Amino acid sequence: MNNPFVRPAGRPCTLTAEDLAYMEAVIDADPSIYLDEMQSKLREIQDVEVSIASLSRAMTRLNLLRKTVTKAAAERNEEVRAIWEGMMAQYTNPEVFVALDESAVDDKTGQQQYGWSPLGMQCVRRMSFLRGVRYSILPALTTDGIIALEIVEESITKEHFLKFLHEQVVTYHPHFSSLSMLI
């Protein structure tokens, strides 16, 4: 039963429903925004002066929690990936497969590791992965394990990749000799 004489505790909320909707839109566009950056945006765009503590409470009211950011490649295309998976389903002998995938890291990863997202949802931010000096690794993996490996202090170019295929992968096993015609 609600008591009609009970008043809400504390000061009235400074932020309106419009301000809260704006905050949700900003977080949707940039989930790793800091509270002081949100404070500046609210001041500049919404003409609202609010404390960091009030912003933190507003985030709680919006069911937004501070979480570790998961990075998703901006270049990824789910439709093309699904088509490729459908085409590859015809191959069933695992010994004919060689998995090749360049991986790279930067020596200056200054991207924020925490962001805001609704309760029960992962915090994902689409971003470009290139920054600073790049170290690349190019492994070739079969059912026998890693059969070839290249590590360089640069990005892997087409020429570098083809040379790696020809000199290290094709020469490993007779099954792969048909690849030399493609190279």
18-30 average pLDDT score: 93
What was the pLDDT predicted at 178? 57
Beta bridge partners of 152: 136
Distance CA 169, CA 171 (A): 6
3-state secondary structure of 70: strand
- CB burial of 40-51 (b: ≥16 within 10 Å; e: otherwise) equals ebbeeeeebebe
| Whether the model pTM is above 0.75 | no
15-29, 36-50, 110-124: range with lowest mean pLDDT: 110-124
Whether the CB-CB separation of 103 and 146 falls below 8 Å is answered with no
Classify residue 183 by its DSSP letter.
Answer: -
**Rama region for 63: left / alpha / beta (φ>0; ψ in -120 to 50; rest):** left
60: part of which helix (H) or strand (E)? helix 52-61
| DSSP 8-state assignment for residue 112 | -
Contact criterion met (CB below 8 Å) for 140 and 47: no
Tokens 């950056």, located at residue: 37
- Output the 3-class SS for 59-96: HHHCCEEEEECEEEECCCCHHHHHHHHHHHCCCCCHHH
pLDDT, tens only, 44-91: 999 999 999 999 999 998 999 888 887 777 777 889 989 988 988 888
pLDDT tens digit sequence for 105-122: 765 555 677 888 888 888
